[in-house]
A and B are shown apart, each in its own frame.
Chain A
């Protein structure tokens, strides 16, 4: 080996000194939301309405998709039921609940994991990406490729490996592009598909494969298909998912707090939906779940969900109520205002009618569908006995009957189940159809199941239920009727079934559910009517 000459050393030193300065290196395909907050928080309309994307997203179910203790318990339950399919279950579930970690694991030739990434405060790229849930970069990096096709469902979205494009609905000029690229390595790129329902459909159209005892596939279950329901409704082509769940901020506003320029039609990022319960649970147990949103943000998210449910979901009316032959006969009409079934998606959700009759003194004469403190519905067969379920009713005649709009899963033997990978079909699906969805022509995946199929009043846009209640002859009139539509994101049976599993995740969630006593359901819509004495009522 020759000794370098002094002139050689000097040349080397000079070359080192003259080399171009290094710039920041990209860390990987994804950035966590933390890297986006700085520029996409601090956004407010001239009237003071804060629409900061970070604040709005942080308490949402999207942000907390990986911290959702019900999801943890659900995955644990499925893994316990089907231990041989554990890796496949974790890979499939993490695809949409931990999309960034899942994508990076796949890119590295592995599979997405759930439980390895659940440790609160865990250090490392995978758990950090995992716990960021459905984060900014996971949606804004989805390519247009395959969107709307069956291939794109069940987390079949495509993220271009290595590319640094991050999509949004607006064209960004060169100067602002450089700002974003320099801070994040991402290049803002105009793409209209971000505002289309087909983007949401990639995760919110989910088919599960029912498994037998040896892990063999027994069938395919459309576990949640709100996109397909929407597509068969009158809303397809006129209203997108985003238009309701990400309502536009009024006026022209900026999308960035850093040199933002006013733009029309900026979508809010609170992802409002019907799940008011989980933000409440996360607020109460935020330390245990490693939640970054502040308690007041979670409370606001829960309130937003309740407002959304009460303002845009359903309408109730009592078009007919009369006393006839010693019996009260009333018709209750429920209108679904949503662009999909009500309730929709994950089958733990249910809506039901509470119908009550009081006499002139206020005494309760009849009640169907009372909410019990533990979260069960009085008179619901399924809450009393997991092997049975409450059928769809055309007419309700006694307090033991209750009209519940829900999906009931059955296994290969037709037994009621709440196991997603055990269920092969729906024994009952009377979730209220959106306007325009014709049940006679509905595809099998969104079909009505059970007695509602034969109910002529159960049509696209709503349902009508008749109450025929025999009352004491001595009951002082006029009678007052109260009807309310209640909504519960996690039905009692879906929660209580988990108590039968011995694991930290299931036990924790059951405890949480119990802690939410009396707060697991909200009233979505209501209506009242007064029924006069028979002599004073108008004739038919």
Chain B
């Protein structure tokens, strides 16, 4: 054996022996049993108060709970403890005692307590863009407002209530309202066209990072057309929403659909498509910043009007520690027909109702 061979062998020993001494890495199930089970119980249902002294421990077998949030939130809580998301302090910080791989292994084990594969994982729940409809079924209340910066005065808001009704389904109610500077009469308040909607996640895969949903809305003519608050006819709006995880915490969301009025003499049918790319930037384990850029287009099916294109740079940020209250804002910038279409400021305040009351979790 040459000196070079000996050196190589020694180098290998130096690398291999400590690894062997540390033993095989613990499996997620093992980490869960050693670190989590005393409170969360080996079956994930949560140990009783008599055992832990803790009033309410979440039940990991409830799919609606265990699938809903993305991994970074779970990881943050496991690493930093409950208070990082405004949960109970009794949830300790394991960041100093468990490696990243061990925590992630335990989280995989926890996720597996949901026996159903129908529930899309929260990692496919991308930040909500200002216009593009998400594919992920949600429990949210959103108040969004659009303000015309130039031209005819308009401040229009809409309240959106989304309620998840099953693993894949969601119902939705949209109530628009606002003020318009109506020619000749000045600023007038008004109710817009109230819409009822539903959504169904057709397919979702965490492996490929994909989610696709079919959705539809019925827009009722509750707003006055003559004052610009409504279209004056019932409109059906079927659409597909798509989301895709991209490398480096980036994501893509698409929405393609049509507006089909029941009276084409009153409103034009049109196709629309929207796309958004963005990135999730975590401020340590705290706030989440999500800059996005959205491209909007719509084409009336009759006539030869040019397709209006808009670009919407925007930013969403979590306000509450729990990340259940978020603020987003951006500017809708027309890319063509800029003579008639002016930039508008758009923003929303979002409350994820599943994660607690509005004022909890700060």
B356 on the interface (CB 8 Å rule)? no
B54 & A38 in contact (Cβ 8 Å cutoff): yes
Bound-state CA distance A173–B97 (Å) is 9
Contact with B along A174-189 (1 / 0, CB 8 A): 1111111011110000
B35 & A259 in contact (Cβ 8 Å cutoff): yes
Residue of B nearest to A292 (CB): B50
Additional A-B contacts beyond A177-B96, A183-B89 (14; CB < 8 A): A17-B287, A18-B283, A21-B321, A22-B83, A23-B83, A23-B84, A35-B90, A36-B53, A39-B38, A178-B97, A179-B92, A183-B81, A258-B35, A258-B92
B51 & A182 in contact (Cβ 8 Å cutoff): no
Given contacts A37-B53, A258-B38, contact A175 B89 (CB under 8 A): no
A134 on the interface (CB 8 Å rule)? no
Task: Give chain B's interface residues, CB within 8 Å of chain A.
Answer: 34-39, 47, 50-54, 80-84, 89-98, 283-287, 317, 319, 321
Bound-state CA distance A54–B39 (Å) is 13
Contact of B50 among A24, A175, A182, A294 (CB under 8 A): A294
A174 & B286 in contact (Cβ 8 Å cutoff): no
Bound-state CA distance A440–B70 (Å) is 76
A183 & B38 in contact (Cβ 8 Å cutoff): no
Residue of A nearest to B90 (CB): A183
A54 & B93 in contact (Cβ 8 Å cutoff): no
A257 on the interface (CB 8 Å rule)? yes
- Residue in A174, A178, A260 with the greatest tally of chain B CB atoms within 10 Å: A178
Bound-state CA distance A37–B36 (Å) is 14
Task: Tell me, rounded to whole Å, the shortest Cβ–Cβ distance linking A197 to chain B.
Answer: 29
B89 & A20 in contact (Cβ 8 Å cutoff): no
- Residue in A20, A33, A38, A41 with the greatest tally of chain B CB atoms within 10 Å: A38
Write out the residue numbers on chain A whose beta carbons fall within 8 Å of the beta carbon of B321: 21-22
Residue of A nearest to B51 (CB): A41
Bound-state CA distance A21–B52 (Å) is 28
Write out the residue numbers on chain B whose beta carbons fall within 8 Å of the beta carbon of A173: 97
B96 & A174 in contact (Cβ 8 Å cutoff): yes
- Residue in A24, A39, A185 with the greatest tally of chain B CB atoms within 10 Å: A24
Task: Tell me, rounded to whole Å, the shortest Cβ–Cβ distance linking A373 to chain B.
Answer: 35
Task: Give chain A's interface residues, CB within 8 Å of chain B.
Answer: 17-18, 20-24, 32-39, 41-42, 54, 173-180, 182-185, 257-260, 294
How many interface contacts (CB-CB < 8 Å) are there between A and B? 98
Q: List 14 A-B contacts (CB under 8 A).
A: A18-B287, A22-B321, A23-B84, A34-B53, A34-B54, A35-B53, A37-B53, A38-B54, A41-B38, A175-B94, A175-B96, A178-B97, A258-B92, A259-B97
Write out the residue numbers on chain A whose beta carbons fall within 8 Å of the beta carbon of B50: 294
- Residue in B37, B80, B82, B90 with the greatest tally of chain A CB atoms within 10 Å: B90
B54 & A182 in contact (Cβ 8 Å cutoff): no
B92 & A17 in contact (Cβ 8 Å cutoff): no
Bound-state CA distance A390–B51 (Å) is 48
- Residue in A39, A176, A179, A294 with the greatest tally of chain B CB atoms within 10 Å: A179
B91 & A183 in contact (Cβ 8 Å cutoff): yes
Bound-state CA distance A367–B317 (Å) is 87
Write out the residue numbers on chain B whose beta carbons fall within 8 Å of the beta carbon of A21: 84, 284-287, 321
Contact of B317 among A17, A184, A257 (CB under 8 A): A17
Write out the residue numbers on chain B whose beta carbons fall within 8 Å of the beta carbon of A175: 94, 96-98
Contact of B96 among A24, A39, A179, A185 (CB under 8 A): A179
Task: Tell me, rounded to whole Å, the shortest Cβ–Cβ distance linking B47 to chain A.
Answer: 8
Contact of A257 among B38, B53, B90, B285 (CB under 8 A): B38
Write out the residue numbers on chain B whose beta carbons fall within 8 Å of the beta carbon of A18: 283, 287
Bound-state CA distance A34–B54 (Å) is 7
Residue of B nearest to A58 (CB): B50
Residue of A nearest to B320 (CB): A21
Write out the residue numbers on chain B whose beta carbons fall within 8 Å of the beta carbon of A257: 37-38
A182 & B38 in contact (Cβ 8 Å cutoff): no
Given contacts A35-B53, A42-B38, contact A179 B94 (CB under 8 A): yes
Residue of A nearest to B39 (CB): A38
Residue of B nearest to A254 (CB): B34
Residue of B nearest to A20 (CB): B286
Task: Tell me, rounded to whole Å, the shortest Cβ–Cβ distance linking A378 to chain B.
Answer: 43
Task: Tell me, rounded to whole Å, the shortest Cβ–Cβ distance linking A170 to chain B.
Answer: 15
B93 & A178 in contact (Cβ 8 Å cutoff): yes
B84 & A178 in contact (Cβ 8 Å cutoff): no
Write out the residue numbers on chain A whose beta carbons fall within 8 Å of the beta carbon of B52: 37-38, 41
Residue of A nearest to B82 (CB): A24
Task: Tell me, rounded to whole Å, the shortest Cβ–Cβ distance linking A362 to chain B.
Answer: 49
Residue of B nearest to A23 (CB): B83
B97 & A176 in contact (Cβ 8 Å cutoff): yes
Bound-state CA distance A33–B90 (Å) is 12
Write out the residue numbers on chain A whose beta carbons fall within 8 Å of the beta carbon of B287: 17-18, 21
B90 & A38 in contact (Cβ 8 Å cutoff): yes
Task: Tell me, rounded to whole Å, the shortest Cβ–Cβ distance linking B316 to chain A.
Answer: 12
Given contacts A38-B38, A257-B38, contact A24 B89 (CB under 8 A): yes
> Which 9 interchain pairs have the tightest Cβ spacing?
A175-B97, A34-B53, A37-B53, A182-B93, A175-B96, A21-B286, A257-B38, A24-B89, A178-B96
Write out the residue numbers on chain B whose beta carbons fall within 8 Å of the beta carbon of A178: 92-93, 95-97
Task: Tell me, rounded to whole Å, the shortest Cβ–Cβ distance linking B39 to chain A.
Answer: 5
Bound-state CA distance A453–B54 (Å) is 55
- Residue in A22, A182, A257, A258 with the greatest tally of chain B CB atoms within 10 Å: A182
Write out the residue numbers on chain B whose beta carbons fall within 8 Å of the beta carbon of A174: 96
Bound-state CA distance A36–B47 (Å) is 14
Bound-state CA distance A338–B91 (Å) is 43
Bound-state CA distance A183–B78 (Å) is 12
Bound-state CA distance A178–B98 (Å) is 11
Residue of A nearest to B89 (CB): A24
Write out the residue numbers on chain B whose beta carbons fall within 8 Å of the beta carbon of A183: 81, 89-93
Task: Tell me, rounded to whole Å, the shortest Cβ–Cβ distance linking A4 to chain B.
Answer: 19
Bound-state CA distance A37–B51 (Å) is 7
Task: Tell me, rounded to whole Å, the shortest Cβ–Cβ distance linking A377 to chain B.
Answer: 40
Residue of A nearest to B88 (CB): A24
Write out the residue numbers on chain B whose beta carbons fall within 8 Å of the beta carbon of A179: 92-94, 96-97
Bound-state CA distance A260–B34 (Å) is 8
Residue of A nearest to B286 (CB): A21
Write out the residue numbers on chain A whose beta carbons fall within 8 Å of the beta carbon of B89: 24, 182-185
Write out the residue numbers on chain A whose beta carbons fall within 8 Å of the beta carbon of B98: 175, 259
Task: Tell me, rounded to whole Å, the shortest Cβ–Cβ distance linking A32 to chain B.
Answer: 8
